[in-house]
Amino acid sequence: MSFMQTLRARWTQAGSLVCVGLDPEPAKFPAIFANDDDAVFNFCRAIADATAPYACAFKPQIAHFAALGAEGALERLIAHIHARHPGVPVILDSKRGDIGSTAQHYATEAFDRYAADAVTANPYLGRDSVQPFLDRADRGVVILCRTSNPGAGDLQDLVIDGRPLYQHVAEKVAREWNTHGNCSLVVGATWPAQLKEVRAIVGSDVPFLVPGVGAQGGDVEAVVTHAKSADGAGLMVSSSRAILYASKGDDFADAAANAARELRDQINRFR
């Protein structure tokens, strides 16, 4: 199945809109990994296995692996998720965006090297910078629109023809770039009013990846109320640190599972 088909099936089968972020930081790992030469893989694998029943997607952040020289661990982790949890899609969070052959190589990296089901992409350089991702009709392209960070408004809120730039991005992606129906948008939980605006622009067919709940303080009720699609789905509500590091003890995996389940249940109360 394509990324979108797999995601929609997962929403239904798991009853969950939780996207579990996999952002390894060895300094935060439990003590049992202190002498583990393969700690990045083993920690992330344990988290994935524990939280899979409550996840609609996993989202490994490539920089957290690359900074540690752990790209091999990332490859093995995605392969493990596909083998052990085949119904849960993997979004490679790399925020790529470039032109020409470089863009093509980034698409090859995400989809062929890492075998990700979807990738995050930056639209700032225009359509040709994401076209190699868009051309892979079976894979997802999750395009930055209104991000969760405090400085998002520096550029994304600039007014062009009477509307902020992020609204133009949303409209262009939904009306022009989504020819294969494989586009999603990143809209941060920290901006609930903007979530509502973007949903009104794109309708129910474009899913949102929503970072910013948990450690960043986004309000779950506001996110779901303003951004869910007509069928009560349409969202991948991403949480990383609050799930990954729910405990520093030997019970870290059970604590992560509990945190993911609690977030799932909290989201479902407002669907």
Q: Which residues are catalytic?
A: 95
Residue 161 structure tokens = 């023809």
